[in-house]
Amino acid sequence: MPILFEVQDHIATITLNRPEAMNSIDPATRGELHEAWKRIKHDDAIRVAILTGAGDKAFCTGSDLKKTMPPQESFAELTFGRAESDHLLAGLDTDKPLICAVNGYAMGGGMELALACDIRIAAENAVFALSEVRIGSIPGAGGTQRLPRAIGASNALLMLLTGDRVDAREALRMGLVSQVVSADALPGAARQIAERIAGNAPLSVRAIKRLVHSGLDMPLPAAIDTERYVFGLLRDTEDRIEGRKAFQEKRSPVYRGR
């Protein structure tokens, strides 16, 4: 199977499962990823998701050029003529947190997958690059927009305009990833973060993610007003009351997402 999808304790783990092809994305993988994005978004049992790759060489090296032929349709047909987009990240608009565990190469579309996640941690052997400029193209899955927002314009343009590769330590320095761990420790480190998130109040987690992402495109006063409004919405939820009771009673809270 091109991807593996598992759910345990409110945590979904999506594993790109083509290690023989550096976990590159062929049409079958793309289709299964679209289904995975839908399931994450709509399955209430899922509170947080981890995206990673099988094997120890690559997270994802982008499109499998051996199996991905140029589309026969015009760009207009692809954009306006389909009920659903075939774009790699179509459907990945969710308030649920996404953690990317980068094991090895994250190149082209693979790096753009990582950029679309909220938290990125990397193995010591991770390598990042958006090298499309070297073949007369540009990153087409959000790379030119998400990378500057993640690491600032200067570092982003250095990567985008040269197409150079960045190792895990440099990625950490630039803020592209939050942690660097050994390859053996990577799955456990991602799982520990996911467990801490999944143990928090689901409505609060989703509200925080939405506020952060929407606030980046707002003037600060408008973003503060939106934050205040969302605080009011959450103030009387059952989970907020449960959190306070659990604190007073010195026990772990039991959150239900309501």
What would the two tokens of residue 165 be?
Answer: 């590769």
CA distances from 76 to 79, 81, 85, 90, 109 (A): 5, 7, 12, 17, 22
Beta strand 105-107 with 166-167 is: unpaired
Nearest residue to 130 via CA among 99, 102, 106: 106
Select which of 73, 124, 132, 227 is catalytic.
132
Q: Quick one: three-class SS letters along 80-99?
A: HCCCCCCCCCCCCCCCCCEE
Distance CA 32, CA 42 (A): 15
Q: Which amino acid is at 154?
A: S
- Active site includes 124? no
Active site residue 6: no
Catalytic residue among 35, 84, 112, 170: 112
* Residues involved in catalysis: 112, 132
